[in-house]
Amino acid sequence: MKKTALIVEDDERNRRLFRDLLGLKGFEVLEAGNGKEGVETARAQRPDLILMDIQMPVMDGMEAIRILKADPGTRDIPILAVTSYAMDEEKEKIRATGCDGYICKPFDTREFLEWISRYL
C-alpha cells in the first residue's frame, strides 16, 4: 500500500519540488495552501506524513501543528516543519509546537529524502 504525504505550503514552486521528491519515493501526495486547509485535509485524509511550512497566510504552520498534535485523530501523524528559520531560538519555538522534526530551507534533496525515510 502506498504511503500518503500531505504538503502544507503556500508557495507553488516549493509544493512542486516536494511533490516531485516525494513521488520519487513512491508517495501519494496531498496538498494544501495554508495551515487551515492543512488541518482540514489531515483530519479528513489521515496521511502517513505531513510536511508543514511555517510562514503561511490564513493560519501559520505553528498553529496548525499545535491543533493537529492536540487532536487524538491526528496526533500520531509525524509532522516535519519546513522552515527558512535558522536561528536556534526560532527552532526551539518550532519544536515547542509538538512537531517531530524540521527541515531548514534551502536543503539538499538527498538530505530531504533521508529525513523522510527516518520518520516512516
pLDDT in tens, the chain (120 residues): 789 999 999 999 989 999 999 998 889 999 999 999 999 999 999 999 999 998 888 999 999 999 999 999 999 999 998 887 666 677 778 788 888 888 877 777 777 777 777 766
Q: Return the C-alpha cell found at 11.
A: 508557495
> What are the C-alpha distances in Å from 18 to residues 11, 13, 50, 87, 92?
11, 9, 11, 23, 24
Return the closest-CA partner of residue 9 out of 45, 49, 44, 57.
57
Q: Is the model's pTM score more than 0.85?
A: yes
User: Looking at domain 4-105, which of 3.30.1540.20, 3.20.20.70, 3.40.50.2300, 3.40.50.720 is its CATH number?
Assistant: 3.40.50.2300
**Alpha helix (H) ranges present in the chain?**
12-24, 35-45, 61-70, 88-96, 109-118
